[in-house]
A and B are shown apart, each in its own frame.
Chain A
Amino acid sequence: MRDDIDELMAHHDGELPGQDAERRFDDPESRELLGKLAKADKAFASAADELLDIPVPSKLVDAIRQPQPKTAEIIPFPRRRGIVGLAIAAGLATVIATNTQLFQPPANPGADAQPAGYAALLQETMESVPSGEMRSSDDGSVSILPMVSFKTDAATYCREFMSSQNGAEFSGVACRDRAGSWTLLSQQGGASASGGDAYRVAESREAKAEAPQTPNRAAELSYAEEQEAIRSGWKGSGL
């Protein structure tokens, strides 16, 4: 293969406009290769165009034209059971941590330090990712899966999520404050060394003074309501 094949292809693809390129590749060998490239493209396009003939299912068209209201996707997860209810019923002194303290790794003997970027990933995921869709860090070491969104009696939006960090799984609840930050109210589970379903609370001595009322779950959001909340930037929410 000739050394300037990339340039020849770029010329073929119109990425090298101008007469200089025309002159540069105006020799018999180049013209022959350009002809072969065109033939290869035509063969591929002919095959690819067959895919356009596959009938589009009407259910797909309908799903786009008329999205059906559905409840937010809730992923079955054993430790999820009762996570919020447990916090409420037990009247736990749920503590709000500052954003810095918020994402300290939960007590998890043997676990490495929280991966870099976790806080940002959680903020981004809570803010914009619908329930049931997972987001992962670039290196794949951390994944966060929102499970359900709900509104508290105080009209604050909160979200339950599941998180996998270096192989250990946690679930938690985060609520959106007036400044637009998602604050972790509780975190549960993790490595088996933590005692399975032991409920964990993010602790912060400074934050204790600002501890809010434990959020009561007034209503879970439907899929459509959650979409609207995301679209509007969780308008009206705030601790």
Chain B
Amino acid sequence: MSSDFTEDLVSLLPRLRRFALTLTGDLDQADDLVQQACEKALLKQDQWQVGTRLDSWVYRIIQNLHIDQLRSQGRRSEHLHEDSVDELVDAGSKGLPERENMLSVLSRIIDELPEEQRLVMLLVAVEEHSYREAADILMIPVGTVMSRLARARTRIMATLEAADAGPERGKENA
């Protein structure tokens, strides 16, 4: 086992957890995912190509594990149904106990976005992955990345404009 590789993973942990938390909306689940993903990455480190982004590679492992877990739970992941997800509110997290925790950490701006839109925003707008890289990580077409970005930004802009217009109007648009 390469100690450098291990330490690279450790240094990525805050961002890996952020990605997993954005994916699951629950910190415990996120930590479980990150731990499993890191164990898998260590096991298959020879498959990672030096010179490529390690974070992208581990993100994809996390994404795969998450999909497998959803399947094993008998759930169909919303992001497998491209036609229906983009307009959905993140119904998966509504009403869950962890939503309370989520709200204490995430701002309303993030929390109001569906999971799929949060992920593309995180990857492209925050971590500056290219559209192609984001598409590879999330295993979706580039066009879907773009449409999710457009919807996410449109929603955020509307939230910001409502907030700028005043608290009362902001509540009406919430």
Contacts and interface: CB of A to CB of B under 8 A. Distances in A.
Interface of A: 1, 5-6, 9-10, 13, 15, 36-37, 39-41, 43-52, 54, 56-57, 60-61, 63-65, 67, 130, 133-136, 140, 143, 145, 227, 230-231
Nearest to A66: B6
Dominant SS among interface residues on chain B: helix
A9 B15 contact: no
A44 B126 contact: yes
Closest 4 CB pairs of A and B: A47-B107, A40-B156, A51-B18, A41-B125
Interface of B: 6, 9-10, 13-15, 17-18, 21-22, 27, 31, 34-36, 38-39, 42-44, 46, 68, 71-72, 76, 105-107, 109-110, 121-122, 124-126, 130-131, 146-147, 149-150, 152-154, 156-157, 160
Contacts of A43: 107, 109, 156, 160
Interface class of chain A by DSSP: helix
Contacts of A67: 39, 42
B75 to A, nearest CB: 10
A42 to B, nearest CB: 9
A60 B146 CA distance: 34
B68 A133 contact: yes
Nearest to B67: A136
Contacts, number: 120
Contacts of B36: 133
A50 to B, nearest CB: 6
A60 B38 CA distance: 10
B15 A45 contact: no
B18 A52 contact: yes
A198 B125 CA distance: 56
Given A41-B153, A64-B10, A65-B6, 17 more contacts: A10-B146, A13-B131, A36-B157, A40-B125, A44-B156, A45-B125, A49-B126, A50-B107, A51-B105, A51-B106, A52-B18, A61-B10, A61-B13, A64-B13, A67-B39, A133-B68, A230-B43
